[in-house]
Amino acid sequence: MATDRHFLRRLMAAKSGMHLPSEEELLRGMPFFKAALSEDICEFAVRLGRRIKQRRQKYLLPVVKRLDDLSRVPSDDCVIALFEELDRLPKTKAFPVEACRLRCRIYLAFLGEPDAAFRMAGEMARLALYDVQHGRRHDMVSRSLGWAIASTYLDDWKKHDGQGTSYRVDNDANTHEHLFQRAFRAASRKQAEDWQRDDHDPAVDVERPLVEPSFRDEGSALSGSVVVIGSIGNGSTSQGKRVAGEFATLLNRPLALSKVPDLADVKSVLATEFPYAEVVVDKVLNPLAGRRHVWLHPTIFVGPPGCGKSRFARRLSEELRVPYEMISCGGMSDSAIGGASRRWSSGEPSLPVMAVRRHDCAGPIIILDEVEKVATSRHNGNAHDVLLGLLEGETAKRWHDPYIEAECNLAFVTWLMTANAVEPIPAVLRDRCRVLRFPLPGPEHVASLAPRILEGLYLEAGHDPRWATPLDALELDVLAAAWSGGSIRSLKRFLEGLLEAREQERSRQ
C-alpha cells in the first residue's frame, strides 16, 4: 500500500536522523530519532524550544526552561518536570499541549513507568479502532494489547523494586521494547516488524534490533549480578570432582556485571583518539544509553589494515571499564574456542568461560582480531561454527560447555570482532552481528594522531612520555605533506623518521 511505503520511507529517515517521528508514528511502531530514545528526547526538546523562543510568549518561558533541561539531561525526572509544566498551560490552538503531553507519556513508558505504558496502550487502542473502522490492517490491536500486558509487568517490577518512583533512565529502553515484542507474540503470532528492515548494503553497516539479554534471564540481572555456572555435570566422578574444585569459587555464585560509565566521557575520549571514526563511536555507544550494565550486540569492525580498528576495540573496552580478552584469529584452525571435553588430556573450558573465571565477571568483552582469517577446514572443527551458538542469545544463555558438562549462562558476554574484509566471513555468522565500516584517517587528522603515536614511541623506548618534546607546527605540516592518509602504521614510520632527523639535528648542534 502507498501508506505503507510512505511510512517505511519516513521510518528510514528517522533511523538516519533525517526525520523526527510524530507521536502517532511512534505509537505505530516507528523507531526513535536515530533509533535511540535519548537522541529523540534531545531532538524533540531542542526543536520545540526553538519554536517557542521564536514566538516570544512569556507564559511559555517555564516550558522553555524545562525543555532546555531535557535537552541536556534526557532523564525521566526531566520528562516528568516538563509534563507537569504542560499541565499548567491552558488549552490553546497556538500551542500543541496535548501532543506534547502524549509524547512525554511515550518517553515515560519506554523509561519503565507503568501508568504511562497503560495510557500508551489506550492511545494505541484508539488508533486500532480508527484502523478497523476504515478497513486498515489490524496491527495496532496486537500492539495495544502488548503494551497493556507490559504495563502490568512494569507495575510488578516497580513494586518489587520497593521504591515509589519509576525505573530511571539508566534502565534500557530497548529491554522494555523486547518485553513488549514478547507480549505481542503471546497475544498474536503476527508481528509488525517491517521497520527492522534496512536499506543499507547487506554486508556493511547492518543495523539490527539491539536487545539486552537481561529479561531473558527472568530478571536475575536486575540486581547487577548473574549466576554463570549453576552446576557441574557428572560431579560424582573423579573428573567431575576435579572440575568442581577448579570452579568452586564460581559455582552457584552471582557474578557482577559491569555498570555503564558516563557515556559522555567515554565518547569524548574515543572521539579524541579516533577523530576520523566519530560515526562509529556514536553507533557503538548509542545503544548503551539508558542501560544499567554494559552489553553490546555482537559487532564486526571492517576496515583496511592499519586503520586502527583493533586498537579501537581495545580502547572501547578499557573506557567502558569492562575486563576483556583479545584473541588473534590468524591461523586458528580448530574449534578450541568452544572448549574441549574433560575426557581428553587436553580438556579445557570454552574461551568465554575461561574469561569469566579469569576476570570474575559475568559479562567480559572478548575481542576476536582478524576473524576472517579463521581456517575454513572442519577437520578438527571450525571456530566460525562454534561462534554461531555463542552469538545467539538463546543458545548462549544455555551454552553447554564440554569441560563443565553443564549449561552456562554466557548471554552477557560481549563479542567484538575485527576484519580486513567481510566477504570471507560466513553469511550465517554476519547475520548474527552488526557489521560497521571502520574508516581510514586522512592527513587532516595528523594533529590528533601524531602526539599519541609519539607517546607510544617513547613508551616503546622505555622513556616517560611526559618528557617527549611536543611536535611543533612545522613538524606537523611536514608529516601531513608526507603522509596522504591511510594506514596509521605508515604514519608511525614517518614520525620515526622525523624523530631521527630531529636527533641528528641536535647532535650537529
pLDDT, tens only, 405-442: 999 999 899 999 999 999 999 988 988 899 999 999 98
Q: What pLDDT, on the 0 to 100 scale, is given for residue 268?
A: 94
> How far is Cα 84 from Cα 77, in angstroms, rounded to an integer?
11
Q: What pLDDT, on the 0 to 100 scale, is given for residue 176?
A: 44
Determine contact, residues 363/322, Cβ cutoff 8 Å.
Answer: yes
For 267-278, the pLDDT digits (tens) are: 999 999 999 999
- 2 pLDDT tier (thresholds 50, 70, 90): low
Determine contact, residues 266/446, Cβ cutoff 8 Å.
Answer: no
Determine contact, residues 375/426, Cβ cutoff 8 Å.
Answer: no
Grid cell listed for 463 = 622513556
Q: What pLDDT, on the 0 to 100 scale, is given for residue 211?
A: 42
Q: What pLDDT, on the 0 to 100 scale, is given for residue 367?
A: 96
- 509 pLDDT tier (thresholds 50, 70, 90): low
- pLDDT (average), residues 436-457: 87
- 162 pLDDT tier (thresholds 50, 70, 90): very low
Query: Identity (one letter) of the amino acid at 455?
Result: E
Determine contact, residues 256/362, Cβ cutoff 8 Å.
Answer: yes
> How far is Cα 52 from Cα 64, in angstroms, rounded to an integer?
7
Selection from 73, 154, 139, 77 nearest residue 109 by Cα:
154
Q: What pLDDT, on the 0 to 100 scale, is given for residue 222?
A: 54
Helix H or strand E encompassing 499: helix 488-508
Grid cell listed for 296 = 553490546
Strands (E) located in 321-372: 324-328, 365-369
> How far is Cα 508 from Cα 503, in angstroms, rounded to an integer?
9
CA–chain centroid gap for 70, Å, is 22
Grid cell listed for 265 = 566521557
- 174 pLDDT tier (thresholds 50, 70, 90): very low
Report the phi/psi class of residue 135: left, alpha or beta, with left for phi > 0 and alpha for psi in -120 to 50: left
Residue-by-residue DSSP string for 359-396: HT-SS-EEEEETGGGS----BTB-HHHHHHHHHSHHHH
Mean pLDDT of the chain: 81
- Let me know how many helices (H) and strands (E) the chain has, helices first: 20, 9
Q: What pLDDT, on the 0 to 100 scale, is given for residue 358?
A: 94
Query: Identity (one letter) of the amino acid at 331?
Result: G
134 burial class (0-12, 13-18, 19+ CB within 10 angstroms)?
exposed
Determine contact, residues 61/73, Cβ cutoff 8 Å.
Answer: no
Comparing 21-25, 72-76, 233-237, 371-375, which segment has the lowest mean pLDDT?
A: 72-76
pLDDT at residue 18 greater than cutoff 60: yes
Residue with the bigger pLDDT between 191 and 117: it is 117
Grid cell listed for 448 = 590528533
* Residues above pLDDT 90, as percent of the chain: 31
* Residues above pLDDT 70, as percent of the chain: 83
Length of the chain measured in residues: 509
Question: CB atoms < 10 A from the CB of 494, how many?
Answer: 18
Q: What pLDDT, on the 0 to 100 scale, is given for residue 299?
A: 95
Query: Identity (one letter) of the amino acid at 152?
Result: T
Look-up: residue for cell 612545522? 474
For 218-247, the pLDDT digits (tens) are: 344 555 788 999 999 988 888 889 999 999
The alpha helices in 409-472, defined as continuous H runs, are: 427-430, 446-460
